[in-house]
Amino acid sequence: MSMRALAAILVVFVKECRESLRDRRVLINSLLLGPLLGPALFVILLRLTISRELTQAERPLPVAVIGAASAPNLIAALEQGGVRVLPAVPDAAAAIRSQRLDLALRIPDSFARDFSAGRPAQVEVIYDSSRRDVIGSVQRLQALLEGYSRRTAAMRLTVRGLAPTLTTPVIVAERDQSTPAGRGALLFAMLPYFLILSALIGGMWLAIDSTAGERERASLEPLLINPVPREHILLGKVLATSAFSLASLSLGLVAFMVAGRLLPTDQLGMSFNLGARAAATILPLMAPLVLLIVTTEILVTAFSRSVREAQTYLGLLQLVPVIPSVVLSVLPLKPRLWMYAVPLLGQQLSVMQLLRGEAVPLAAALLCVAATLLLAQVAFSAARRSYRSERLAIAPLV
Amino acid sequence: MICAEDLHKSFGPIKAVDGVSFVARDGEITALLGPNGAGKTTTLRMLYTLMHPDSGRVLVDGVDAQQQPLEAQRRLGVLPDARGLYRRLTARENIAYFAALHGLPDSEARARIEMLLQALSLRDIADRLAEGFSHGERLKTALARALIHDPPNVLLDEPTAGLDIMSTRSLRDFLRHLKQQGRCVLFSTHVMQEVSALCDRVVIIARGRVVAEGTPEALRARAHEHNLEEAFVKLIGTAALA
């Protein structure tokens, strides 16, 4: 590339950056919303989950008990397990349906008779399984009831001179091989998406402004009459948009590093490992993706009839990187080498590996970078074609 | 000098330009006169390389605009119909952007900008953002931007559209000034007063064709009318019949 071409690209780059730095909309998107939206959502979501899980395990469990007098021993055992017995309510089922009550335990009058006779004595747990927030409480109560049942059975066997182990022919021991960091990564499966999203949002306004916006404000036609090949103008715009997108991504990474420290993840037996070293590996892995995202964004805006239409299309484009995130969380695929050659999926896998505290294999990383660059080149060729069209400045390309 | 040689351009089934030829000479002001939709803007867009003719040829100072678009663009200063400025840049920055795109060295660009700001009386608003410019201020800034590289040929698409009387007069003076400097000035218009007040030559376009060409006097004589507007109506009318 000649000096003249480089100079022209630089001129466009500098002008686009200067104009954007004066545009509050671009600044808010690239330097505030883009980098912070993901981490903020992430922190809020995680805090909610973590604090709920922690408090629910320790908090007294209020249960409305109907017929408590029939089973004083059972009640004493439950209270020891953290249950706070609420007075009986007249119509428990209705109260639960109308969400005035979380769950209730009914002990029928026949309980004492059946229990002392050695017959299975029934108790009823009344709850609404469509209310996700009470499921934890229901499971706690069920575990307490089962524990009481097992202890009673063991005592009865012992009294009759039998070994309590008779009723446990098979015992299951669970050996979870996930490391704390691995369990964390499962919870953090959405993080790569948020990172990609920050790059998308970071470049979005500049992409719209520099093509569809210029056309709408009638400044594209005079620009294209200048003696500069159109692909150099395009390249300047791509680089300026990439700079903002990359800035958004970098700020997003820093925000995630800070967020990791603010989260009480170790209380859940997990660790969230986005240290400087992982971040330094993520950035070069994501840089080709930034180019791909930006050229795609500019390509889409070149085909849009107006700024508003471009906004709509780019809004939809933001949903595309969700696909690998969803696929990976629904079908936990074993990472294979070819997967790194799929842009978005490759970055997703790499970031998750880095979060688990593992290293990304060099071959995989190179494949990921090369494949993404190749697709970015294809997108750039398409954008160049649209820029060469004589209708670009005048009317949208349909 | 700008030569249009048998230009044709269609958009789908519509023949926007259907065989336009004319010459605009250096040191003269040439008007492309025609009713709305006659093909003036499309013709100009082919002259300034934004559009490619389906057939025919454009020569700018002998340079084929199709074969060597960049070379032709260097010889052209264009005020297109679309003349939007960058609202978040000042007038000076708007002009400087185009100077840089033309590859003018900094010192030369600065001198040219000062000269044009002076000539177009833009000094007072030079360092204001283009955001709140009036119509006249926007036009003058766009004109300065178009002339930054001292082009020998100047093309203007309806330059006085929407201007008040005082701005129109000063723009006319400025175009005469460009002519005196020996440039080839070509502008499109549908306003008759513009033509009689300014032009050395008139090219009348209707329905994508040249229906008459010559000095305003010659056209009046040809249509046997003293009033140019009557002559115009007569000439267009015969074209419509033919």
Distance CA B146, CA B156 (A): 10
Q: Residue A227 carries which DSSP code?
A: S
Q: How confident is the model at residue A55 (pLDDT cuts 50, 70, 90)?
A: low
Q: Which structure tokens are listed for A156? A: 């009865």
What confidence tens digit (pLDDT) does each residue in B33-59 have?
998 889 999 999 999 999 999 999 999
Top mean pLDDT of A118-132, A348-362, B75-89, B213-227 is at B75-89
Q: Residue B8 carries which DSSP code?
A: E
Distance from the first to the final alpha carbon of chain A: 32
Inspect the interface and report whether the beta carbons of A11 and B97 lie closer than 8 Å.
Answer: yes
Question: What is the residue extent of each domain of chain B?
Answer: 1-75+153-242, 82-150
Distance from the first to the final alpha carbon of chain B: 31
Inspect the interface and report whether the beta carbons of A12 and B101 lie closer than 8 Å.
Answer: yes
Inspect the interface and report whether the beta carbons of A222 and B78 lie closer than 8 Å.
Answer: yes
When scoring A21, A216, A221, A387 by the number of chain B Cβ atoms within 10 A, the one with the most, hence best to mutate, is A221
Distance CA A348, CA A319 (A): 15
Distance from CA of B77 to the nearest CA of A (A): 9
Distance from CA of B102 to the nearest CA of A (A): 6
Is the minimum CB–CB distance between B88 and chain A shorter than 8 Å?
yes
- Residue A248 to residues A202, A301, A322, Cα–Cα distance (Å): 5, 20, 18
The residue type found at A253 is: L
What is the 3-state composition of chain B as percent helix, strand, coil, each rounded to the nearest 5? 40, 25, 30
- Coil, helix or strand at residue A145: helix
Which ipTM score applies to this complex?
A: 0.93
Beta-carbon contacts of residue A35 (< 8 Å; ≥ 6 apart): A198, A202, A248, A249, A250, A251, A252, A254, A255
Mean pLDDT of A69-79: 88
Q: Which residue among A19, A218, A225 places its CB closest to the CB of B50?
A: A225
What pLDDT shows up at residue A213? 93
Residues A192 and A39: beta-carbon distance below 8 Å: no
The larger pLDDT score, comparing residue A289 to residue A267, is at A289
- A251 φψ region: left (φ > 0), alpha (ψ -120 to 50), beta (else): alpha
Q: Which structure tokens are listed for A190? A: 């959405």
Distance CA B206, CA A262 (A): 73
Bridging pattern class, strands A124-126 and A104-106: antiparallel
Is the minimum CB–CB distance between B221 and chain A shorter than 8 Å?
no
Q: How confident is the model at residue A130 (pLDDT cuts 50, 70, 90)?
A: confident
Q: Which of A81, A60, A49 is nearest to A268 (CA)?
A: A49
Is B1-75+153-242 a CATH 3.40.50.300 domain?
A: yes
Q: Which of B30, B10, B19, B13 is nearest to B185 (CA)?
A: B30
What confidence tens digit (pLDDT) does each residue in B68-119 have?
999 999 999 999 999 999 999 999 999 999 999 999 999 999 999 999 999 9
**Residue numbers in B near A222 (CB within 8 A):** 78, 80, 82-84, 98, 142, 145-146
Is the minimum CB–CB distance between B106 and chain A shorter than 8 Å?
no
- Residue B24: pLDDT above 60? yes
Looking at chain A, the whole-number percentage of residues with pLDDT higher than 70 is 90
Mean pLDDT of B196-214: 91
What pLDDT shows up at residue B241? 45
What confidence tens digit (pLDDT) does each residue in B150-204 have?
999 999 999 988 888 888 999 999 999 999 999 999 999 988 878 888 999 999 9
Closest alpha carbon within chain A to B100: A11
What pLDDT shows up at residue A93? 85
Is the minimum CB–CB distance between B80 and chain A shorter than 8 Å?
yes
Whole-structure pTM value: 0.81
Look-up of token digits 């036009």? B139
Is the minimum CB–CB distance between B29 and chain A shorter than 8 Å?
no
What pLDDT shows up at residue B242? 42
The residue type found at B221 is: A
- Residue A89: pLDDT above 50? yes
- Residue B62 to residues A342, B74, B210, Cα–Cα distance (Å): 52, 13, 22
Is the minimum CB–CB distance between B117 and chain A shorter than 8 Å?
no
Inspect the interface and report whether the beta carbons of B101 and A218 lie closer than 8 Å.
Answer: no
- Residue A269: pLDDT above 60? no
Mean pLDDT of A365-369: 95
Closest alpha carbon within chain A to B11: A391
- Residue A330: pLDDT above 80? no
Distance CA A13, CA A27 (A): 16
Distance CA A234, CA A238 (A): 6
Distance CA B45, CA A236 (A): 24
Residues A180 and A269: beta-carbon distance below 8 Å: yes
- Residue A181: pLDDT above 70? no
When scoring A6, A12, A23, A226 by the number of chain B Cβ atoms within 10 A, the one with the most, hence best to mutate, is A226
Distance CA B213, CA B205 (A): 9
Is the minimum CB–CB distance between B145 and chain A shorter than 8 Å?
yes
Inspect the interface and report whether the beta carbons of B74 and A227 lie closer than 8 Å.
Answer: yes
Distance CA B19, CA B17 (A): 6
What pLDDT shows up at residue A56? 61
What pLDDT shows up at residue A42? 77
What pLDDT shows up at residue A99? 84
Is the minimum CB–CB distance between B188 and chain A shorter than 8 Å?
no
Beta-carbon contacts of residue A194 (< 8 Å; ≥ 6 apart): A37, A38, A39, A41, A42, A252, A256
In order of their start, the domains of chain A are 3-51+181-388 (no CATH), 60-167 (3.40.1710.10)
What pLDDT shows up at residue A180? 56
Is the minimum CB–CB distance between B169 and chain A shorter than 8 Å?
no
Chain A residues interacting with chain B (CB cutoff of 8 angstroms) = 4, 7-8, 11-12, 15, 18-19, 22-23, 214, 217-229, 390, 393-394
Q: What angle do CA B8, B14, B18 make, to 5 degrees?
A: 25
Q: Which structure tokens are listed for B69? A: 């678009």
- Residue A385 to residues A232, A378, B125, Cα–Cα distance (Å): 13, 11, 38
Q: How confident is the model at residue A184 (pLDDT cuts 50, 70, 90)?
A: low
Residues B91 and B130: beta-carbon distance below 8 Å: yes
Distance CA A368, CA A347 (A): 7
The larger pLDDT score, comparing residue A116 to residue A266, is at A116
Q: What angle do CA A107, A110, A116 make, to 5 degrees?
A: 100
- Residue B239: pLDDT above 60? no
Size of interface A-B (CB pairs under 8 A): 75
Q: Which of residues 195-214 of B touch A (CB under 8 A)?
A: none
Closest alpha carbon within chain B to A217: B84
Top mean pLDDT of A127-141, B62-76, B208-222 is at B62-76
Q: Which residue among B50, B74, B103 places its CB closest to the CB of A390?
A: B50
Distance CA B239, CA B227 (A): 19
**Residue numbers in A near B52 (CB within 8 A):** 390
Strands (E), chain A: 61-66, 83-86, 104-106, 124-126
Q: Which of A299, A293, A185, A297 is nearest to A249 (CA)?
A: A293
Q: How confident is the model at residue A375 (pLDDT cuts 50, 70, 90)?
A: very high
Inspect the interface and report whether the beta carbons of B83 and A222 lie closer than 8 Å.
Answer: yes
